[in-house]
Amino acid sequence: MKNSLQRRIKKRTIILVMFSLVWLGVLVLRLVQLQVINADQYRNIVLKQNQNTIDVTPKRGTIFDRNGTILARSMPNPSLFFQPSEGETISSQWDKINKISRICGLSQSELKKIQSQIEMQKNFIYIMRKIDPEKAEKVMSLQINGINIEVENKRFYPQGKLASHLIGRVGMDDNGQSGIEYKYDSILLGYKGKRLTFKDGIKRNYQHEIIEQPIPGKDLILTIDETIQYIVEKELAKAVTTHSADWGIVIVSHPGTGEIFALANYPDFDLNHPPDAIEDWSKNKAIHDLFDPGSTFKIVTASAALESRSVSFSDVFDCSQNLKKGGKIFRDHEDFETLAFPDVIIHSSNIGTIQIGERIGEQNLFNMIQSYGYGQKTGVDLPAEERGILNPIKKWTPISLASLSIGYEISVTAIQMLQAINVIANRGVATRPMIVKNIVLSPEKAQKQPYEYRRVISEDIASQLIDIFRQVTEVGTGTAANIEGYSTAGKTGTAQKYDHAIGSYSSSKHTASYVGFAPVETPLFSMVVVIDNPKGLYYGGQVAAPVFQKIGKQIFRYFRIPPKTVPPKTIITAENRSNREQ
């Protein structure tokens, strides 16, 4: 009996031991599977449940004017986001959003977007990005589980609406969308970093660390001068308002280098609070909108006449009769008899200029137009520049030579007009207009943007033309642009606007313009003024030339350049008809 009991115990013990060994073997194999064979797979699952890698947006580069004034910078700003807990119901998540919706001022469309993301079981939902810090503080004071703050960078424009079309704007993700912000986006943006966030069992962040540092964007130093930009915007707004015009443009540059001191469009907008219809307001008309230049284009005609030796200063033209070309009658803005070549340009006679154009010929005029850069982009470092419209000779009609001679049948931009007057001011050399002066690579090093030059006409011809355009402001159509005590030169322009509705040029809608520079001896600045569709007075000499005078006078004062002559006493006289011209 005793032996039988011992045998049973021994047998059970052996079975128990064998079972334990088998169980231990299975357990070891499972551990090997978990910790060796499938270790990476399960480690990734755990990390995914407890960690989250988020892109860190770098600080966008700062934009300065030429004197170091900040025009655009990025500032830290809170963004609210929501991370639901594991297994949290949709209704519970939605209740949390409703609790803060009024504080945040969430719109119905924003609420619908958040609701959609909750229903899609997103584990990271932005509630409101770059929110007002006070609102963010009120939300966080409620201590709602899952609602947290992330610090992002928000673009801020200290000068408000100053140079708004030129600077441009950025989107919510700090990507450039227009202007300099868009053109130099890759330089301003920098490179994103990575942040690792650790979460507890109910998805609350309890720790984070930067695993890849973001690289800040580089700063830009523009050629723009904040003070000159302010002067230009102030006077442009006055002119557009006074003449009830549709819009206006002024660009001021240094003709010797092509650096833009100021570029303004009106109406303008505040970059910090842009209007809803931003696309209509943000378009930079100075480089984008096309129009017929009118008599400012006689700069090209006069250049072609002298460069091709088609005329001389002593040549005289009969301007007493209207001209009929191809069924179209060309008239002057006032009655003339005979005019010498310089006087044709000084007093802006269309009849005289057309006769000069006939002497020049189609090919010579076309070549000069191309040499001046019309029909081509100027290369200014701004996005969406238009090249204008210049038809090849084979598409010219019987009246094209006459029309082009006086600035019709060609569409140009304001910056192309500025480049043309810079050729005269710079003694026959064209300069590429530029907005960015330096790219700051480090506190000690900057990359200077190169100047670009090309000769258009000879220095001798340019000097002769300077004498003519100087007289335009002294005794011709541009006397309203004359700045007392300083020498000026320029050309007025008045062009009828093409009305697509009637398929011809309108007799009631005009584009008034003026291009000029000062002082004549060593030009400090050049300027183009364009006023679109002014009401009442509409000639360039009446509408645009005075803007040049007012801005130019303040620029001289700003640079502390005293007048060379004592201004005479003001004498009130009757209207000078020479201020009117086509």
From CA 35, how far away is CA 31, in angstroms rounded?
Answer: 6
Q: Does pTM top 0.75 for this prediction?
A: yes
From CA 413, how far away is CA 473, in angstroms rounded?
Answer: 23
pLDDT for 207 equals: 52
- Position with higher pLDDT, 362 vs 34: 362
What residues does each domain of the chain span? 53-74+154-222, 226-579
Q: Which of 317, 354, 323, 357 is nearest to 337 (CA)?
A: 317
Give the dihedral sign, CA 346/349/354/356.
negative
Is residue 504 very low, low, confident or very high in pLDDT (cuts 50, 70, 90)? confident
* Weakest-pLDDT range from 184-193, 215-224, 414-423: 184-193
Task: Scan for tokens 């970093």, then name that residue.
Answer: 193
Is residue 572 very low, low, confident or very high in pLDDT (cuts 50, 70, 90)? very low
- Position with higher pLDDT, 233 vs 33: 233
pLDDT for 577 equals: 39
Fold observed for domain 53-74+154-222 = Penicillin-binding protein 2a (Domain 2) (3.90.1310)
pLDDT for 532 equals: 97
Is residue 198 very low, low, confident or very high in pLDDT (cuts 50, 70, 90)? low
What does the pLDDT look like over 125-163, one tens digit per residue?
A: 888 888 888 888 888 888 888 888 878 888 999 999 999
Is residue 573 very low, low, confident or very high in pLDDT (cuts 50, 70, 90)? very low
* Weakest-pLDDT range from 109-113, 118-122, 222-226, 371-375: 118-122
Burial class (CB in 10 A: 0-12, 13-18, 19+), 81: middle
pLDDT for 330 equals: 93
Which two structure tokens, joined as six digits, stand for 351?
A: 């009849």
Q: Facing residues of 387 across strands?
A: none
Query: Following CA atoms 375, 380, 382, 388 in sequence, which dihedral angle do they give, to the nearest 10 degrees?
Result: -10
- Position with higher pLDDT, 61 vs 507: 61
Question: What mean pLDDT is reported for the chain?
Answer: 87
Provide mean pLDDT across the span 305-330: 92
pLDDT for 199 equals: 59
Provide mean pLDDT across the span 5-19: 74
Provide mean pLDDT across the span 508-537: 97
Say which CATH architecture domain 226-579 belongs to.
3-Layer(aba) Sandwich (3.40)
From CA 96, how far away is CA 300, in angstroms rounded?
Answer: 69
The greatest distance separating any two alpha carbons of the chain, rounded to the nearest whole angstrom, comes to 153
Q: Which amino acid is at 424?
A: I
Q: Which of 382, 461, 451 is nearest to 415 (CA)?
A: 382
Q: Work out whether strand 63-64 and strand 219-222 pair parallel, antiparallel, or are unpaired.
A: parallel
Q: Is the pLDDT of residue 23 over 80?
A: no
DSSP 3-state of 377: coil
From CA 76, how far away is CA 63, in angstroms rounded?
Answer: 17
What does the pLDDT look like over 343-387, one tens digit per residue?
A: 999 999 999 999 999 999 999 999 999 999 999 999 999 999 999
What does the pLDDT look like over 465-488, one tens digit per residue?
A: 999 999 999 999 999 999 999 999
What does the pLDDT look like over 390-437, one tens digit per residue?
A: 999 999 999 999 999 999 999 999 999 999 999 999 999 999 999 999
Provide mean pLDDT across the span 266-275: 87
pLDDT for 282 equals: 66
pLDDT for 208 equals: 59
Q: Is the pLDDT of residue 388 over 80?
A: yes
* Weakest-pLDDT range from 99-103, 202-206, 228-232, 317-321: 202-206
Q: Which of 427, 545, 420 is nearest to 488 (CA)?
A: 545
pLDDT for 579 equals: 41
Q: Which of 12, 483, 63 is nearest to 271 (CA)?
A: 63
Question: Are 486 and 566 in contact, with CB atoms under 8 Å apart?
Answer: no
